[in-house]
Amino acid sequence: MIKRILSLLLVVTTFLIISPIFVFSGGEEEEKVPGAVVTPKGKVFKFGIDADYPPWSWYEEGEFHGMDVEVLKAIIEHSGIEVEFVALPWETAVPALGAGKIDLLAGAMYLTCEREKVIDFTRPYFREHGFVIVKKGSEHNIATALSGGSRVAGMAGGTQYEWLQSLIEQNVDIIAVPYETDELALKDLEAGRVDAMVSDETVAYDYLKQYNIEVAGKIYKGYSFEVVYGVKKGDPDNLISLINDGLKWLWETGKFQALWYEIIGSEMQPLGPLPLERETICE
């Protein structure tokens, strides 16, 4: 009896260890987008998506969706390369890009000085600004929300919270409250536990529909970022030019705008591929 259990176990182990390689191929969604032309290298690129940031990227019904995703899909089809989408959480995705585990990273990626040091970027295709959000009916305006000991929420580890901290360093009288996710921050905002919140424009429009909030103001200087796709430092596969060309083509054919209005909505205007204004954004 024991013998049978043992041999069964052995068979099951071997099977289970070997099968995932073939069957599931990663547990990630294998979206091989067929191209018109197969690249001469025959390489299958891995695009990492942080599917946690609608409207740029999300995961619905077993598939990746979002502006970033659709733009990439269109470019992929147009250029004929073979791509596999991989879902990685942000903390793992950035080092994974650096280590070459993925070839490209997408997901509302902002061009910042520190990031620029370790990865290369495509042209930006949008400029994101910050919104200061308050509870609907709050007496705060943009000035009072960011002064007088106001409690301001921002996503921990993200550009929002960093900006709040930089404000404090410049002696602005606020208390910066970090939150693991925007949802938790919004709940507290509605409950009155924080007075205001910093969020990015594109996602804020989504929040406005779901939560009892309103916009106190839009930040231009100090909190504004170019949105890009990140590639491995050195860009060994020349993905940057491929993406940049693709972006240009999408804009010129109007497909970019169409996707924009469909996914992001018409509250904001699409900007299309932007030139990078300076050699480096580090000061």
Partner 1 sequence: MENCCSYYYNMDILIKEYKSLLTGALIVLEVATGHLTLGFVIGLLLAAMQVYGNRFISFTAITIQKVLRGIPALVLLMLVYFGLTSLIDMSPVVVAIIALGLRSSAYQSQVFRGGIQAIESGQREAALSIGMSRLMTIRLIIFPQALRLVIGPWTNIFTMEVKDVSLAYSIGVLELLRRGRFIIRYTHGNAMLIYCTVAVFYFIIVRIGNTLLYRLEDKLLIPGFERRGGKK
Question: Which residue, 21 or 36, is less far from partner 1 as judged by CB?
Answer: 21
Considering the complex, what minimum distance in angstroms separates the CB of residue 92 from partner 1? 5
- When asked if residue 131 is in the footprint of partner 1 (CB under 8 A), the reply is no
With CA atoms as reference, report the closest residue to 111 among 199, 229, 200: 229
Question: Looking at 29, 77, 116, 237, which residue binds partner 1 (CB under 8 A)?
Answer: 29
Cα–Cα–Cα angle for 246, 247, 248, nearest 5°?
Answer: 90
Q: What share of the chain is helix, strand, coil (3-state, %, to 5)?
A: 40, 30, 35
Stretch that binds partner 1, among 104-112, 210-218, 225-233, 241-249 (CB under 8 A): 210-218
Considering the complex, what minimum distance in angstroms separates the CB of residue 150 from partner 1? 23
Question: Looking at 31, 206, 235, 237, which residue binds partner 1 (CB under 8 A)?
Answer: 206
Q: How far apart are CA 189 and CA 191, in angstroms?
A: 5
Q: What is the distance of C-alpha 133 from the center of its chain?
A: 20
For residue 198, the tally of other CB atoms under 10 A from its CB is: 26
Q: What are phi and psi of 260, to 5 degrees?
A: -60, -55
Question: Which residue, 213 or 239, is less far from partner 1 as judged by CB?
Answer: 213
Task: Give the β-pairing of 174-179 and 63-65.
Answer: unpaired
Residues 95-114 that bind partner 1 (CB under 8 A): 95-96, 99, 101
Residues 1-20 that bind partner 1 (CB under 8 A): 2, 9, 12-13, 16-17, 20
Question: Which residue, 61 or 283, is less far from partner 1 as judged by CB?
Answer: 61
Question: Looking at 7, 41, 44, 60, which residue binds partner 1 (CB under 8 A)?
Answer: 60
Cβ contact 111:203 at 8 Å: no
Phi-psi region of 60 (alpha: psi -120 to 50; beta: other; left: phi over 0): beta
- When asked if residue 170 is in the footprint of partner 1 (CB under 8 A), the reply is no
Interhelix angle 239-252/67-79, rounded to 10 degrees, is: 100
Stretch that binds partner 1, among 24-32, 107-115, 220-228, 261-269 (CB under 8 A): 24-32
Using CB under 8 A, list all residues that contact partner 1.
2, 9, 12-13, 16-17, 20-21, 24-29, 51-54, 58-62, 65, 86-89, 91-92, 95-96, 99, 101, 183, 190, 206-207, 210-212
